[in-house]
Structure 1
Amino acid sequence: MIVDDHSVVTAGVRYWCGQADPPIELIDANARLANVWTGPGANADVVIFDLQLQTDQQEFTELRRLVDSGRRVVVYSQDAHNTTAVRCVSLGALAYVTKREGQEHLVAAVRAAAAGSPYTPPSLSGALVADDDPNRPHLAPMEIAALRAWFASSSKQMAATMLGISARTVDTYIERVRVRYANAGRPAPTKSDLVARALEDGLITLADLNNHPI
């Protein structure tokens, strides 16, 4: 279901969803958030929520209400400020897509959200990288590279070969990452935990995982 007060936006999103393979059925809330809770909207797999923030912060409260009730939300907004994107993700949105990012990223975000997974489009990735939230540890470039290589490989030895370093060095980088996340209060003791953290923080995307299944 889409909640947006611009009919031209809704028409465009409906067209994109219809062109998706397989097609995505879109329900129009007619710009009324109340319709998310009743009728067909109550059973929608994903809520595409237009965040405008033109007058007050009430929409953040509504976003939190949706998330707390178990709804899977993709925020779709013309607001491209990093702080807004990071706050929406912190409140539980599975993706933050700006209206300039278009069909490819919105459809991918909806698909991911329907599966209960986060999605990181380019704007959100940049916002997360620039974020100075102490709960989001800052990783060194080689630590990030080691993570990505390991996620794309079946072993640390293969990751080491990809990077041209030793497996022991890869292991050291990964352990450093685990320590950083543990210190930030977001422990990641397993590989799958680290994948989840990397997705949350925009270090990798679902497309990366699809290209290199773990």
Structure 2
Amino acid sequence: MGPSIVIVDDHPAIVDGVRAWCAAAEPPIRVLAAGASPGVALAGTGAEADVVVFDLQLDGAPAFRALTTLADAGRRVVVYSQHADSDTALRCLELGAATYLTKAEGPEHLIPAVQAVVDDLPYTPPVLGGAMAADRHPDRPVLSEREREVLLAWFESDSKQLVAQRFHLSAKTVDTYINRVRIKYADVGRPATTKAALVARALQDGLIDLAGL
């Protein structure tokens, strides 16, 4: 069975277009639900989708709070937005999005992005690549606050289960956060496939110090 998505977008034409692109993908991507409210991704069949395709512009304003809610729930979110500025793209990564695309980038990037995110692989479309290159620290991944919290707690713990208990999360959600961090490091050319490698990266980037360890 192929990957699945839920679409959060308040433009029917966009939803219809994404549905058509998903049906034509190989393998086809199943659209389990769609709606104009982020709630469609948190309940019912939408909560079972592998990936949330999320329109940042809901009700006329950037829905950063809704993005945070989805990311904190452990959902893999592909932001699909009309905004093409670097600040918005980087902020979405900080809030926990798996990747960021503009609607101008179309199916040639949206479909590969969904396929990559389902497999916990990095995907950097042109606009996001430009945003990261313009960042003052292009080789340092942008981690959300919760990603940093979970990562540091894992460094201090013997198991992910203990981290899950500490933050009242499921072990699967803890895994999702740590995998996101791995993806972000791989995306900037600094892979960290083991816990020791992640500790080294965190030391290099000042997230922790030797005294903290």
Task: State whether TM-score is above 0.5.
Answer: yes
State the TM-score, normalized to the length of structure 2.
Answer: 0.62
Q: Counting strand residues as a fraction of each chain, which structure ranks higher?
A: 2
Match of 2:77 among 66, 73, 79: 73
SS at match of 1:29: strand
Distance 2:28 2:182 in 1: 32
Distance 2:80 2:91 in 1: 14
| Residues 137-152 of structure 1: pairs in structure 2 closer than 5 A | none
SS at match of 2:14: helix
Match of 1:16 in 2: 21
Shift of 1:29: 2.4
Match of 1:3 in 2: 8
Q: For 1:89-119, what per-residue CA distance to the aligned partner results, in whole angstroms no more than 9, with x for missing partners? A: 1221111010000111100111111112231
Specify whether residues 20 and 56 from structure 1 end up closer, same or farther in structure 2 by C-alpha distance, changes over 3 A only: closer
Distance 1:9 1:195 in 2: 28
Shift of 1:194: 9.1
Match of 1:25 in 2: 30
* Higher alpha-carbon Rg: 1
Distance 1:5 1:194 in 2: 32
State the TM-score, normalized to the length of structure 1.
Answer: 0.62
Distance 1:106 1:98 in 2: 9
Specify whether residues 70 and 132 from structure 1 end up closer, same or farther in structure 2 by C-alpha distance, changes over 3 A only: same
| Residues 1-214 of structure 1: pairs in structure 2 closer than 5 A | 1-52=6-57, 55-56=60-61, 59-133=63-137, 136=140, 197-199=185-187, 201=188
SS at match of 1:74: strand
Shift of 1:134: 8.4
Shift of 1:132: 2.2
SS at match of 1:2: strand
Which residue identity lines up with residue 136 of structure 1 in the other structure?
R
Shift of 1:127: 0.5
Q: How many residues are paired up? A: 146
Contact 2:53 2:79 in 1 (8 A): yes
Distance 2:78 2:125 in 1: 11
How well do the aligned residues superpose, as a CA RMSD in angstroms? Answer: 2.5
Match of 2:175 in 1: none
Shift of 1:4: 0.4
SS at match of 2:109: helix
Distance 2:118 2:138 in 1: 29
